[in-house]
Amino acid sequence: MSTDSINLPPVHSGKVRDIFDAGNGRLLMIASDRISAFDVVMNEPVPDKGRVLTAMSAFWFETLADVLPSHLISTDVADLPPEAQVNGVAGRAMLCHRAEMLPIECIVRGYISGSAWREYRSQGTMHGQTLPAGLQESDKLPEPMFTPSTKAESGHDENISYDQAVELVGADRAEQAREASLELYRRASEAAAKKGIIIADTKFEMGLVNRTLVVADEVLTPDSSRFWPVDGWKPGATPPSYDKQPVRDYLTTLDWDKQYPPPPLPDDVVATSAARYVSAYEIITGRNFSDWPG
């Protein structure tokens, strides 16, 4: 959908979300169907992706509220400012408290993959922490680990050590964020495992609302997490994932320098990605996506 018809002051437009000032210390976040790979936004949207991200975030915000409150006020169009009650926002909108965001990404890894695997393979460490020898790609770690990163305005975030996180946010806040992140991950991964899905790793955004730490932005979605099918996982290989993996896989077959402009995506790649997002939501929540607004 286009957000041009929303008559509120724009705050930020990211790779996926458009954010508006909703007044009275509130923000309106609209999740689009835009999809990025290798930090480049593709020209083709993935149908209903924004609705899936919103629906799944709302599910986890509610499910994990006893671990850490969230910034979410409502996903109901009737609760939005009148200027935002326009066609297309249903199922994509989150009215939220404006939070003072921590300048770190709160990442928890239960399995070794992605940038963590690349670091381990070359140095035997993960975010500077020494790991046991002999781990394979996608191996389960001895215990989940908090591995923060910086937030980049553009390009890749930078992995940092816990001590560097302390320097950025202070010892008390870093410890609070670490403990909350680990508990959020533990609760979510146990729940997902019962549905046949491994949450290999995930990224939390945290901030302060009235001096209280909250989880914000999106939470435990296919965009912020690696979801693997339990029956498709084995150490030593990259399991299939419930996200934009079909897009990444297709792009790696091309002679593309991973810079703008992106190459066009075939219809079947877009459709396969869309189906994976919906599957992730339905399997984890046990709900029918067709029942979600929009």
Any idea which residue has 């458009």 for tokens?
18
Examine the pLDDT at 212 and tell me if it is beyond 70.
Answer: yes
Q: What is the pLDDT of residues 76-87, one digit of tens each?
A: 999 999 999 999
- Say how far apart CA 222 and CA 203 lie, in whole Å: 11
Paired tokens of 203 = 């990224």
The secondary structure element, H or E, covering residue 226 is strand 225-229
Confidence label for 171 from pLDDT (cuts 50, 70 and 90): very high
The type of residue at 209 is V
The type of residue at 192 is A
Examine the pLDDT at 90 and tell me if it is beyond 90.
Answer: yes
Contacts of 202 (CB under 8 A, 6+ apart): 107, 108, 185, 188, 220, 224, 225, 226
Q: What is the pLDDT of residues 120-151, one digit of tens each?
A: 999 999 988 899 999 999 999 999 999 999 98
Q: Any idea what DSSP says for residue 159?
A: B
The type of residue at 245 is Q
Paired tokens of 198 = 């491994």
Contact of 94 with 28, CB cutoff 8 Å: yes
pLDDT value, residue 2: 85
Confidence (pTM): 0.95
* N residues, the chain: 294
Could you give the percent of the chain with pLDDT greater than 90? Answer: 92
Among 29, 33, 54, 51, residue whose Cα is nearest residue 43: 33
pLDDT value, residue 151: 83
Q: Which 3 state secondary structure label does DSSP give 267? A: helix
pLDDT value, residue 128: 86
Vertex 89: Cα angle to 88 and 95 (nearest 5): 175
Any idea which residue has 């189906």 for tokens?
275
pLDDT value, residue 153: 65
Average pLDDT taken over every residue of the chain:
95
The mean pLDDT of 237-250, rounded to a whole number, is 92
Q: Which residues of 146-161 are buried (b: 16+ CB within 10 A; e: fewer)?
A: bbbbeeeeeeeeebbe
Map out the domains of the chain with their CATH numbers.
1-98 (3.30.200.20), 101-244 (3.30.470.20)
Examine the pLDDT at 159 and tell me if it is beyond 90.
Answer: no
Chain centroid, CA 258 distance in Å: 21
pLDDT value, residue 155: 59
Among 138, 142, 107, residue whose Cα is nearest residue 228: 138
